[in-house]
Amino acid sequence: MEIGLAYGLPVNVYGLCTDAHLPDIQSRYERMLNALLPTLAGADEISGVGEMCGGVVSSLAQMVIDDEILDYVQRVRRGFVTDAESLAVEVIADAMDGARNFMGQKHTVKFMRQGEVLQTRLARREGWGEWEGSGRKGIAERANERAAELLASHPALPLSEQQQAAMQDILRLHV
């Protein structure tokens, strides 16, 4: 990786790797760690999106999960400002003296709009009762549902005549 970076070449690292068979907790923590470290070291691309079992199979649900993992990794890569304003020193002091509600503060809204806080699209912050009432779905089930939504809503554009001819040429070469 260092040689590629030294020569200004794009560097791809197979970072979203796991030997897990399902998009489970093993898969998620291995992928996060394996993507985070090369990204912080300067890798331009992280490959392996959706791959499971060491790259033997792919999972649509894992692709959706990987999209969120990569959002978090990129957010960490950008770094964090730790000045008095970003740490909300005055806001915290004011809130501790009063209503203790940070969500209603203009400061909180400002920093959430600036993208300083990532909001998960897959995890839930509901209580036990709400979770039971919603069918006890975990991240993998919600990721499967999201993958199905994306596939159903994505318009598949037809290949141009030139693309179809090129495909036919390739197929003729390998038959």
Q: What is the pLDDT along the chain (175 residues), one digit of tens a residue?
A: 788 888 988 888 888 888 888 888 899 989 999 999 999 988 988 999 999 988 888 999 999 999 999 998 988 888 887 887 777 767 776 666 665 666 667 777 777 666 666 778 888 878 888 888 888 888 899 999 999 999 999 998 999 999 999 999 999 887 6
In a domain, 25, yes or no: yes
In a domain, 133, yes or no: no
Phi, psi of 20 (to 5 degrees): -60, 150
In a domain, 61, yes or no: yes
Token pair of 67, please? 């999209």
In a domain, 144, yes or no: no
Identify whether the C-beta of residue 75 lies closer than 8 Å to the C-beta of residue 118: yes
In a domain, 75, yes or no: yes
What pLDDT score was predicted for residue 144?
94
Rounded to whole angstroms, how far apart are CA atoms 53 and 94? 51
In a domain, 125, yes or no: no
Number of domains in the chain: 1
In a domain, 165, yes or no: no
Phi, psi of 122 (to 5 degrees): -110, -40
What pLDDT score was predicted for residue 110?
75
Identify whether the C-beta of residue 118 lies closer than 8 Å to the C-beta of residue 72: yes
What pLDDT score was predicted for residue 164?
94
What pLDDT score was predicted for residue 100?
62
What pLDDT score was predicted for residue 115?
61
CB contact burial 17-49 (16+ within 10 A = b; e otherwise): bbebeebeeebbeebbebbbebbeeebeebebb
- Name the residue among 21, 30, 14, 25 with its Cα closest to residue 53: 21
Look up the domain containing 75 and give its range: 1-79
What pLDDT score was predicted for residue 22?
87
pTM: 0.74
Phi, psi of 57 (to 5 degrees): -130, 165
In a domain, 142, yes or no: no
Going by the DSSP 8-state scheme, the letter that residue 157 receives in this structure is: P
